[in-house]
Amino acid sequence: MHRVGLKQWGFKGNDNLKAAESGITIRGVVNDIKSNLNSSDSRPVIHLGNGDPSSFCGFRTTSIAEDAVEASLRSAKFNGYAPSVGLLPARNADFLFLFYKYRAVAEYLSKDLKDKITSNDVYLTIGSSQAIEVILSVLSCPKANILLPRPGYPMYEAHSAICHLEVRHFDLIPEKDWEVDLDQVENIADENTVAIVIINPGNPCGNVFTYQHSKKIAETARKLGILVIADEVYGHLAFGSNPFEPMGNFGSIAPVITVGSISKRWIVPGWRLGWLVTNDPQGILKKHGIIDSINGFMNISSNPTTLIQGALPQILLRTNDDFFSNIIDILREAANVSYHFIKNIPSITCHNKPEGSMFIMVKIDVSMLDDILDDMEFCTKLANEESVVILPGVAVGLKNWLRISLAIDPESLIEGLGRLKEFCMRHAKKK
C-alpha cells in the first residue's frame, strides 16, 4: 500500500524536554564545566560541583542500612511488583506487612510533628525527584502559576515547564540569612497561584529557617490561599543555631506537601527512595481533589524498587544517632573551614556561614578580576586551570555567585579551596 501525503516524518520532540537536556539542570551545567578540565594537569580533579558524597569513605552510609537491604533481598519477599498505592483502605491495614513501609515513614516523620501523620498521608516515590514531578503534575492546570525560590533547585523550573505551569520567582535575601522576601511573594501571587516551594534546609544557600520565619511563610500561604510545598530533602542536616523545623508543623495554618528522601541524610542518592507526604489536618487537600489526583498519578507511575522499600522500616527507624551526628560534625567543620578560608579571598564574599544542607553560596566580584566576565567563565577557567569543579550560580538562578559543595573528604576540600584562592589571586586586576 502506498501512503500519500507523508512528505516528512510527522513528529518532533517536546521543546521543554530539549531544554532540560542541557543548560537548565545542575547536572547539565556541571557536565559543561567538566568538559573544560585539562587532562594534562597531573593533579587530581576536585569535585565541588554536585552534592553526592557517596564516593568518599567518610560519608559511607550506615551498616544498618546496608544490612537492611541485604536482609530485604534474602527474604525473597520483595521480588514482586510493589502494591498499588491507590488502595487507601489497604494502607491502613498495618498488619499487612507489605504496608509496613508507609507506616515507617509516618512514624519517622511524626517524631518531629505536632499533628502526627499516618500511613494514609504517605506516598513512596522514586526519590524526592519523583515526588516533585507528582505534585507539579497534579497542580498544573490551565493558567496556574507556582512561586519558586531564587536561588533554587532547577528541577522545579524544568518540571514546571514540562507541565506548562507558569513560574514566578521570589528572592531569598542573602543579607537576611536567605529568608524569603515575603512582601515580594504577596506581590507576585494572584488568583491563579497554586503553591509556594520552600527548600529547608536550603539548597543552594546552606541556610536553615527559624521557627518564626517558617510560620510566617505558612501564614502568607494562608492569606494567599495556596499550599506550601516543603522540600525537606536535607531535613535534619542542620548544624548551626537554628534547629530544623519541619514545615508540616504549620499544616494547620496552610496545607503542606512535604517531599523528602533517604538520599541525602543517609547518603544513598542512588537507592532512589523518597516520599511525598501530606500535612493537612484540616483536610483542605482532600476537599479540593488534590488527594484524588495524587492517587491517580501514583496509580499510573512506576514505584521505587521493592528491595529498598522492604529495607525502609529498618533504615528509618533503626539507624543510630552516632551515624547522623558524625555526618553533621563533618559538615559543620567543612562549613567553618570554608567560611573562614573564603573570607580571605578578596574577590569573593560570603554573607553567611552555612548552617545546613551541604553547600556554601558565595558571591564573586568580577570587577576585581581580569579577563573573567561572569560566573560561567569563572568556573570554566577554574576547571581548566586548577582542575576544580564548582557550580556557577546561574545554574541555580543567581548570576555571579558560586555554589560550593561541602560534602567531600576534608583534605580534598582544603586542597580545592587552596586552588580556588590561587586562581583568584592570579586573575586579580593589577592596581
- Looking at beta carbons only, is 132 or 388 nearer to ligand PLP? 132
Q: What does the alpha-carbon distance between residue 272 and residue 136 come to, in Å, rounded to a whole number?
A: 19
Task: Return the range that interacts with ligand PLP (CB under 6 A); candidates 15-23, 35-43, 125-133, 305-313.
Answer: 125-133
Stretch 332-361: interaction string toward ligand PLP, x if CB under 6 A: ------------------------------
From the CB of 6, what's the least distance to ligand PLP, in Å? 41
Stretch 246-285: interaction string toward ligand PLP, x if CB under 6 A: ---------------x-x-----x----x-----------
Q: What does the alpha-carbon distance between residue 316 and residue 268 come to, in Å, rounded to a whole number?
A: 13
From the CB of 242, what's the least distance to ligand PLP, in Å? 18
Cell numbers for 106:
509516618
Identify the residue among 145, 160, 193, 203 touching ligand PLP (CB under 6 A). 203
The 3-state DSSP class for residue 401 equals strand
CA distances from 275 to 30, 56, 122, 218, 336 (A): 27, 26, 7, 21, 32
Which residue, among 131, 126, 53, 37, has the nearest Cα to 359 in the 3D structure?
53
Q: What letters, b where the CB count within 10 A reaches 16 and e where it falls short, cover 140-174?
A: beeebbbbbbebbbbbbbbbbbbbebeebebbbeb
# chain residues binding ligand PLP, by CB under 6 A: 12
Which residue, among 231, 216, 225, has the nearest Cα to 136 in the 3D structure?
231
Task: Return the range that interacts with ligand PLP (CB under 6 A); candidates 122-130, 221-229, 328-336, 418-426.
Answer: 122-130
Question: What is the number of the residue whose Cβ is closest to ligand PLP?
Answer: 127
Identify the residue among 65, 85, 123, 127 touching ligand PLP (CB under 6 A). 127
DSSP per residue, 222-254: HHHT-EEEEE-TTTT-B-SSSPP--GGGGTTTS
Identify the residue among 129, 140, 145, 309 touching ligand PLP (CB under 6 A). 129
DSSP per residue, 325-354: HHHHHHHHHHHHHHHHHHHT-TTEE-SS--
DSSP structural state of residue 270? G
Cell numbers for 375:
560566573
Identify the residue among 65, 135, 195, 199 touching ligand PLP (CB under 6 A). 199
From the CB of 103, what's the least distance to ligand PLP, in Å? 20
Task: Return the range that interacts with ligand PLP (CB under 6 A); candidates 123-131, 138-146, 388-396, 417-425.
Answer: 123-131
- Looking at beta carbons only, is 140 or 405 nearer to ligand PLP? 405
Cell numbers for 34:
567538566
Identify the residue among 72, 119, 128, 145 touching ligand PLP (CB under 6 A). 128
Per CB under 6 A, residues contacting ligand PLP are 127-129, 153, 199, 203, 231, 233, 261, 263, 269, 274
